Amino acid sequence: GAVVSQHPSRVICKSGTSVKIECRSLDFQATTMFWYRQFPKQSLMLMATSNEGSKATYEQGVEKDKFLINHASLTLSTLTVTSAHPEDSSFYICSARVPGLAEDTQYFGPGTRLTVL
């Protein structure tokens, strides 16, 4: 099946620093990737849609200057949390649409646990 990886799996940083999270499609090319955030015991909330070669589309209420998304290649999208604060601590998960399958099917990465001290 389609494999999506994320790096790092876990990161702890100080308040005010920036953190970059990578999402890679390992065995396919993904023109569209999605970034979600999940707080404890809650569902996944879509943050933004990442499109290869163009600007990301952000959901309402998500600050695009705080959560920078770059989709520079067909296998890599990055999410940078800038000037992170403790309230940004969360589980960040990416997904990718798999070409050739049902257009709506998304496969998810393993997630990145961000803790901001």
Partner 1 sequence: GESVGLHLPTLSVQEGDNSIINCAYSNSASDYFIWYKQESGKGPQFIIDIRSNMDKRQGQRVTVLLNKTVKHLSLQIAATQPGDSAVYFCAENIRGGSQGNLIFGKGTKLSVKP
Query: Closest CB to partner 1 among 34 and 67?
Result: 34
The reply to whether 115 sits near partner 1 by the rule CB under 8 A is no
Total residues contacting partner 1 by CB under 8 A comes to 32
Closest by alpha carbon to 82, among 8, 17, 12, 7?
17
Secondary structure class of 57 (helix, strand, coil): strand
The answer to whether the CB of 93 falls within 8 A of the CB of 113 is no
The reply to whether 29 sits near partner 1 by the rule CB under 8 A is no
Summarize as ranges the residues that interact with partner 1 (CB under 8 A). 1, 4, 6, 32, 34, 39-46, 49, 51, 57, 87, 91, 93, 95, 97, 102-111, 113
